[in-house]
Amino acid sequence: MITVKEAKSIIQKHIPLLETETVSLNKAGSRVLAQEITATFPSPRFDNSAMDGFAVRAVDTKGASQSNPITLKMVSVISAGSPSDVAISPGESAQCMTGGKIPDGADAIVMVEDTTGFSDANSVQIFAETQPGKHIRKQGEEIQEGDVLILKGTSITPSEIGTLANFGYAEVAIAKKPRIAIFGTGDELVEPGNELKPGQIYNSNLYVFAELAKRAGARVVMRNVIKDDRESLRAFLSEALITCDMIISSGGVSMGRFDYVRDVFMELGVQEHFWRVAQKPGKPLFFGTAKSTIIFGLPGNPVSAYIGFIEWVWPVLNRMMGKKDPNFLTGILKEPFPREKVKYRFLFGNAWMEDGKLVCKPATKVGSHMLSSSLEANCILGVENGERPLRPGEEIRVNILPWKTIG
Ligand code: AMP
Ligand code: MG
């Protein structure tokens, strides 16, 4: 049995980076960027008006007021998208709409509300003084050409999509979705929708895995509940080893008489890197590889399987797509936390802000079969082994579930 820390460092050595693909911007949302994005031009690209108004030389408006309007000659009309090459000379102005390119010679915009307004007349009266630069969006004031806008490995959200479009990227390179096989084992498992006979339970783990995989950005391409029988297991795994980037099993890797999964992995040439980890829940955690396929054998107990996916599988999926792991947070316990003498201890929990500090407490149901403990949780709490339980006021690692917020 190895420690959580040792297991994590073994895993790091065996994570392949997936290939990339190029997709159109419309298809890039929620994917992981596989290229660095730089500004292909400054932003704003050219000096332009922040207001509907008149482009003027600020000096020409000196002393202007309601009672002392200044009359300027009007030499052109500029709209967004239709610049003018007429330069503004002393005593002149141009109508200039929001987004319109500032004409040469002008250095300020007087908003239309401070004038006699837009018209076809060849002059306009200005009712307010202005200063150089007023209501002008300067070229490059937001971003310089060549600035790094988005780092490789970033998840593409509406903000990234907007920025990509803003700089003219019609397509981008993204990481391919990891192709995943998930399977459960157990003669007792029945699919929801069917009646349960004595001794049977519903398969919940594969539903949890499928949803987690989707949220992690992976694609489940094979999924099956397999009886505790070597032949069916071998058939499923042989195909999965050829077609998938990752295989995740639930159950059948413990010490039970019918726990064949590990044996069959080995028969099919999977190289085992570790099998048991000093953690609770989820001691019988299997990790292996076969060529570029990663194999995780997670325990069957629903809480162990769920926590195992989040703590072990999710970060690996991230890495395969070139995404960095988020940093864990540290919270202050409001209630005791049951530490283990030799094992790392994980529990679903809740974390929230109180007086500007992150505080947390474990779920009240602690059994690894008690899946309802996940319903109210927004995080997984975890702590190294130790002699006594953690007390309220002590610190603990907080792993916020990726789709949750701190309540
Ligand atoms: P095992 O790891 O096969 O010994 O299973 C441990 C426990 O988890 C047993 O109580 C199983 O019935 C349960 N279990 C195994 N697979 C699933 C599953 N897919 N959904 C829900 N419970 C499961
Ligand atoms: Mg079983």
Say yes or no: do domains 48-137 and 329-400 share a fold. Answer: no
pLDDT at 369: 93
The finding on whether 340 has its CB within 6 A of some atom of ligand 1 is no
The finding on whether 256 has its CB within 6 A of some atom of ligand 1 is yes
The finding on whether 102 has its CB within 6 A of some atom of ligand 1 is no
- Report CA(275)–ligand 1 centroid distance (Å): 17
The finding on whether 299 has its CB within 6 A of some atom of ligand 1 is yes
CATH class of the domain at 48-137: mainly beta
pLDDT at 206: 98
**pLDDT tens for the chain, residues 1 to 407:** 999 999 999 999 999 999 999 999 999 999 999 999 999 999 999 999 999 999 999 999 999 999 999 999 999 999 999 999 999 999 999 999 999 999 999 999 999 999 999 999 999 999 999 999 999 999 999 999 999 999 999 999 999 999 999 999 999 999 999 999 999 999 999 999 999 999 999 999 999 999 999 999 999 999 999 988 899 999 999 999 999 999 999 988 877 777 888 999 999 999 999 999 999 999 999 999 999 999 999 999 999 999 999 999 999 999 999 998 888 999 999 999 999 999 999 999 999 999 999 999 999 998 999 999 999 899 999 999 999 999 999 999 999 999 999 97
Give domain 22-42+143-175's CATH superfamily.
Molybdopterin biosynthesis moea protein, domain 2 (3.90.105.10)
Secondary structure (DSSP) of 137-199: E-TTSSB-TT-EEE-TT-B--HHHHHHHHHTT-SEEEEEPPPEEEEEEE-TTEE-TTSPPPTT
- Report CA(359)–ligand 1 centroid distance (Å): 33
- The number of the ligand 1 atom at minimal distance from the alpha carbon of 259 is 3
- The number of the ligand 1 atom at minimal distance from the alpha carbon of 203 is 20
C-beta neighbour count of 113 within 10 angstroms: 11
The finding on whether 189 has its CB within 6 A of some atom of ligand 1 is yes
The finding on whether 281 has its CB within 6 A of some atom of ligand 1 is no
CATH class of the domain at 4-17+177-320: alpha beta
Integer Cα distance of 220 and 227 in angstroms = 20
pLDDT at 254: 79
**Cα distances (Å, whole numbers) of residue 181 to 242, 263, 360, 371:** 11, 18, 35, 23
At residue 29's C-alpha, the angle toward residues 28 and 32, to 5°, is: 70
- The number of the ligand 1 atom at minimal distance from the alpha carbon of 253 is 2
Integer Cα distance of 192 and 189 in angstroms = 10
Q: What is the pTM of this model?
A: 0.93
Topology given in CATH for the domain delimited by 329-400? Beta-clip (2.40.340)
Site to probe by mutation for ligand 1, drawn from 197, 201, 211 as the one with most ligand atoms within 8 Å of Cβ, is 201
pLDDT at 259: 82
Closest residue to atom 16 of ligand 1, CA basis: 300
- Report CA(300)–ligand 1 centroid distance (Å): 4
Ligand nearest to the CA of 225: 1
Closest residue to atom 6 of ligand 1, CA basis: 300
Nearest alpha carbon to residue 314 among 374, 230, 400:
400
What is the phi/psi pair of residue 136, to 5°?
-110, 130
The finding on whether 254 has its CB within 6 A of some atom of ligand 1 is yes
Asked if 148 and 36 touch (Cβ cutoff 8 Å), the reply is yes
At residue 168's C-alpha, the angle toward residues 142 and 32, to 5°, is: 90
Domain positions in the chain are: 4-17+177-320, 22-42+143-175, 48-137, 329-400
- Report CA(259)–ligand 2 centroid distance (Å): 6
DSSP code of 407? -
Integer Cα distance of 394 and 407 in angstroms = 20
- 């007390």: which residue's tokens? 391
Integer Cα distance of 178 and 176 in angstroms = 6
DSSP code of 400? E
